[in-house]
């Protein structure tokens, strides 16, 4: 093997005067990556070949079915069959709006779009530290929940829309965003409460966490949809979506609390002692010293809980709310479009995968960004 | 430093800064500190030594209530330490502490470590707090590291930051809990130099350490502890040359051998 960088032969260097040389060609770059990752051992070589073979078998067939042989515009299933042998996306194209808005009145859908755009602005502002005009966005984020509530629900000059008209992706996003943004702070409070020195707070938190964790979400949703009306005074009409939001949030909070407790326990005692020794009060010490570190450690678990919550939102189907999966199932009953379950479920799967994958990538980015080179 | 100058300095010492009277502490059933009596004058520099498990760290941690005592009184800077959080916070504002393992906040830069308490506890404006922090970082000779994270510094540098961080609160009293025990030999000197300088400026210091050279150079008084009691205390020359107690003699012979 010949190096492309050569040291001048026979030259002696005084200690400390040897120049920094670039590494040899084979010790860096794509060649090294391939050698290390794909062909490092006989087993690895076999696996690489098998993987390439499997991909070769699967990808062309799938691409033909999903794209080149597929139909994108057709009036019904039969027309689809005539136009192509692959997937029948025409069904999705035709029902696109149902999948997105559910039964939200057509004339009012601009409100949903506007809310979604504003939500994206807020999310970008919150998640992207160098976002231009971030200060204003953060201030806007404080009033956004009220604005969004008004836009989506109506009243005060806008036409009222009832929550049973909500559905599709819109419903998933509402449950996801509300659940995620509330379960984190509630989870933090529960985790801190569980470590409290005051027995009442401590046991209340433990009781809540263990009860909620010990019951399946479906049960909680059933309780929300049916049994709650027995406990509430007769005549009170408690919005079903609101009940679902509360249950989903509480459920996620209990899991969140345990994830964060794990992070809290990983913080060395010395950190709290140092904060105490400076005269910081409890809440200041928690907010400035303990939580930033504990939450950083917990990021994978927190995002895991977020993703779980987001996907669990499909369970609302069993109490009659129509999320994308529910819309899909209801649509499959249509006589004109029979036998398209593959397309429908694939479509819904892609939607969920994109959202969840985005969360996962963001969590990796955050972990890398917050890494301050301290591992002990 | 000869005895005469020390005597002069003794007379210059001010009022009582810390007073510990008949203090006892238990961990569960275990009686860790037994009848501790100690008076520290303002400007006094005290070195506490003794075998491990003798209660020296526990004793100085009682002074800022990182540990709770169960019997007796501790009065720091005129404030008695009781269960009253107000008193505890008042004492902690005036007492700085440097730990064996530095306990810097790894998620904050050196500068943020130094300005955190002044901003949040003393309510100093940020710009002013940063100017003060820079002064102290210069004094401990690492101003160029201000915007790095603690994880990027060597142990000695971290401990110097920890000292600067405490000084930023302009404490009246500094407690050092084995500040050099976790350091490589090369780095011990740079930390001790900072501490010596601080001592020469008249800071009231209580220092748990095994650095006997440091004790000889700066201490007004050396305290020897064993099994939770103060066995012997004396000014350094007398303490090292003429230890009274048998246990002290044994301890000194062991640590001064090498």
Residues of A in contact with B105 (CB under 8 A): 271, 274, 289, 293
B126 lies within 8 A of chain A by CB: no
What integer is the mean pLDDT of A18-36?
81
pLDDT for residue A9 is more than 60: no
Which residue of B lies nearest to A277 if distances are taken between CA atoms? B92
What integer is the mean pLDDT of B134-151?
93
Give the position of tokens 């601080």.
B198
Nearest CA to A37 out of A45, A28, A27 is that of A45
Residues of A in contact with B64 (CB under 8 A): 276-277
Measured distance CA(B242)–CA(B238) in Å, rounded: 5
Measured distance CA(A278)–CA(B96) in Å, rounded: 7
Q: Which are the contacts of B15, defined by CB distance < 8 A and separation ≥ 6?
A: B41, B42
**How many residue pairs bridge chain A and chain B with CB atoms within 8 Å of each other?**
70
Measured distance CA(B226)–CA(A343) in Å, rounded: 79
Q: Which are the contacts of B108, defined by CB distance < 8 A and separation ≥ 6?
A: B116, B149, B150
What integer is the mean pLDDT of A145-173?
88
Q: Which residue has the higher pLDDT, A73 or B171?
A: B171
Query: Of A276, A281, A288, which is closest to B116 when you measure between CB atoms?
Result: A288
Measured distance CA(A183)–CA(A248) in Å, rounded: 9
Cβ A279–B106 below 8 Å, yes or no? no
Q: How far is CA B247 from CA A295, B56, B229, B251, in A?
A: 49, 15, 12, 6
Q: What percentage of chain A exceeds 70 in pLDDT?
A: 95
How much is the pTM? 0.83
Q: Length of chain B in residues, anyone?
A: 258
Measured distance CA(A296)–CA(A318) in Å, rounded: 36
- Predicted confidence band of residue A188 (pLDDT cuts 50, 70, 90): very high
Query: Of A279, A280, A373, which is closest to B151 when you measure between CB atoms?
Result: A373
Q: How many CB atoms lie within 10 A of CB A156?
A: 7
Which residue of B lies nearest to A289 if distances are taken between CA atoms? B105
The secondary structure of B61-110 as a DSSP string is HHHTTSS--SEEEEEETTEE-SS-HHHHHHHHHHEEEE-TT----TTS-H
Residues of A with CB under 8 A from a CB of B: 268, 270-271, 273-274, 276-281, 284, 288-289, 292-293, 296, 370, 372-376
Q: Which residue has the higher pLDDT, A249 or A234?
A: A249
Measured distance CA(A203)–CA(A196) in Å, rounded: 9
pLDDT for residue A15 is more than 90: no
What integer is the mean pLDDT of A316-322?
86
pLDDT for residue B220 is more than 60: yes
Cβ A278–B149 below 8 Å, yes or no? no
Helix (H/G/I), strand (E/B), else coil: A371: coil
pLDDT of B110 reads 96
The CA distance from B89 to the nearest CA of chain A, in Å, is: 5
pLDDT of B118 reads 95
Average pLDDT score, chain A? 87
pLDDT for residue B174 is more than 80: yes
pLDDT of A1 reads 43
pLDDT for residue A4 is more than 70: no
**C-alpha atoms less than 13 angstroms from C-alpha of A161 in its C-beta half-sphere:** 24
pLDDT of A28 reads 75
Which two structure tokens, joined as six digits, stand for A370?
A: 């917050």
Domains assigned to chain A: 25-68 (no CATH), 95-104+161-370 (1.10.3720.10)
Q: Which of A57-61, A162-166, B55-59, B97-101 has the lowest mean pLDDT?
A: A162-166
CA angle in degrees (0–180, nearest 5) for A62-A168-A114: 110
The CA distance from B182 to the nearest CA of chain A, in Å, is: 14
The CA distance from B5 to the nearest CA of chain A, in Å, is: 34
Looking at the DSSP bridge assignments, the partners of residue B230 are B225
pLDDT of A10 reads 57
Measured distance CA(A16)–CA(A18) in Å, rounded: 6
Helix (H/G/I), strand (E/B), else coil: B208: strand
Task: Quick: pLDDT tens for A95-147.
Answer: 888 888 888 888 888 999 999 999 999 998 888 888 888 888 889 999 999 99
- Predicted confidence band of residue B4 (pLDDT cuts 50, 70, 90): very low
CB B167 within 8 Å of CB B175: no
Helix (H/G/I), strand (E/B), else coil: A66: helix
Q: How many CB atoms lie within 10 A of CB A356?
A: 17
Which helix (H) or strand (E) segment is A137 a member of? helix A134-153
Task: Report ipTM (2 d.p.).
Answer: 0.89
Which residue of A lies nearest to B162 if distances are taken between CA atoms? A274
Cβ A289–B96 below 8 Å, yes or no? no
B172-196 burial, b at 16+ Cβ within 10 Å, e below that, comes to bbbbbbbbbeebeeebbebbbebbb
pLDDT for residue B34 is more than 60: yes
């Amino acid at each position: 093997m010949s190096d492309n960088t050569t040291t001048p032969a026979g030259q002696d260097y005084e200690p400390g005067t040897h120049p920094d040389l670039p590494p040899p060609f084979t010790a860096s770059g794509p060649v090294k990556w391939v050698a290390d990752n794909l062909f490092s051992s006989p087993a690895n070589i076999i696996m690489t070949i098998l993987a390439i073979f499997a991909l070769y078998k699967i990808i062309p067939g799938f691409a033909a079915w999903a794209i080149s042989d597929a139909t994108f515009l057709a009036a019904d299933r039969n027309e689809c069959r005539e136009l192509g042998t692959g997937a029948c996306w025409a069904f999705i194209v035709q029902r696109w709006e149902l999948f997105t808005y559910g039964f939200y009145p057509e004339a009012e859908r601009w409100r949903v779009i506007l809310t979604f755009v504003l939500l994206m602005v807020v999310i970008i502002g919150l998640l992207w530290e160098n976002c231009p005009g971030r200060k204003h966005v953060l201030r806007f984020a404080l009033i956004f929940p009220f604005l969004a509530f008004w836009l989506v629900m109506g009243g005060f000059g806008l036409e009222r829309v009832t929550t049973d008209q909500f559905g599709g992706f819109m419903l998933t996003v509402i449950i996801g965003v509300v659940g995620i943004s509330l379960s984190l702070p509630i989870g933090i409070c529960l985790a801190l409460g569980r470590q409290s020195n005051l027995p009442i707070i401590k046991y209340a938190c433990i009781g809540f966490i263990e009860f909620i964790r010990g019951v399946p979400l479906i049960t909680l949703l059933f309780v929300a949809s049916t049994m709650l009306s027995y406990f509430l005074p007769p005549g009170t009409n408690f919005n079903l979506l609101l009940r679902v939001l509360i249950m989903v949030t509480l459920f996620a909070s209990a899991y969140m609390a345990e994830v964060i407790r794990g992070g809290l326990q990983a913080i060395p005692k010395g950190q709290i002692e140092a904060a105490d020794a400076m005269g910081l009060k409890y809440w200041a010490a928690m907010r400035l010293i303990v939580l930033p570190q504990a939450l950083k450690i917990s990021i994978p678990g927190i995002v895991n809980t977020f993703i779980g919550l987001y996907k669990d939102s499909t369970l609302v189907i069993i109490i009659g709310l129509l999320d994308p999966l529910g819309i899909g199932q209801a649509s499959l009953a249509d006589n004109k479009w029979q036998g398209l379950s593959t397309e429908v479920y694939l479509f819904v799967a892609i939607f969920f995968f994109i959202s969840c994958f985005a969360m996962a990538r963001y969590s990796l980015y955050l972990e890398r960004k917050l890494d301050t080179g301290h591992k002990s | 430093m000869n005895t005469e100058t020390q005597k002069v300095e003794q007379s210059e010492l001010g009022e009582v800064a810390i007073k510990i009277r008949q203090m006892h502490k238990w961990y569960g059933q275990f009686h860790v500190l037994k009848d501790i009596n100690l008076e520290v004058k303002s400007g006094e520099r005290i070195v506490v030594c003794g075998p491990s498990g003798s209660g020296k760290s526990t004793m100085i941690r009682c002074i800022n209530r990182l540990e709770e005592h169960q019997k007796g009184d501790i009065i720091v800077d005129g404030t008695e330490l009781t269960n009253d959080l107000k008193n505890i916070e008042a004492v902690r504002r005036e007492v700085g502490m440097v730990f064996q393992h530095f306990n810097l906040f790894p998620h904050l830069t050196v500068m943020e470590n130094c300005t955190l308490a002044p901003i949040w506890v003393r309510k100093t404006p940020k710009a002013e707090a940063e100017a003060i922090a820079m002064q102290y970082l210069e004094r401990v000779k690492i101003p160029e590291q201000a915007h790095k994270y603690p994880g990027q510094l060597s142990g000695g540098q971290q401990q110097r930051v920890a000292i600067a961080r405490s000084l930023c609160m302009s404490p009246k009293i500094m407690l050092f809990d084995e500040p050099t025990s976790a350091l490589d030999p090369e780095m011990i000197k740079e930390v001790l130099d900072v501490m010596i300088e601080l001592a020469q400026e008249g800071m009231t210091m209580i220092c748990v350490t095994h650095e006997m050279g440091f004790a000889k150079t700066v201490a007004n008084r050396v305290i020897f502890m064993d099994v939770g009691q103060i066995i012997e205390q004396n000014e350094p020359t007398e303490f090292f040359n003429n230890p009274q107690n048998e246990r002290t003699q044994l301890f000194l012979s062991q640590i001064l051998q090498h």
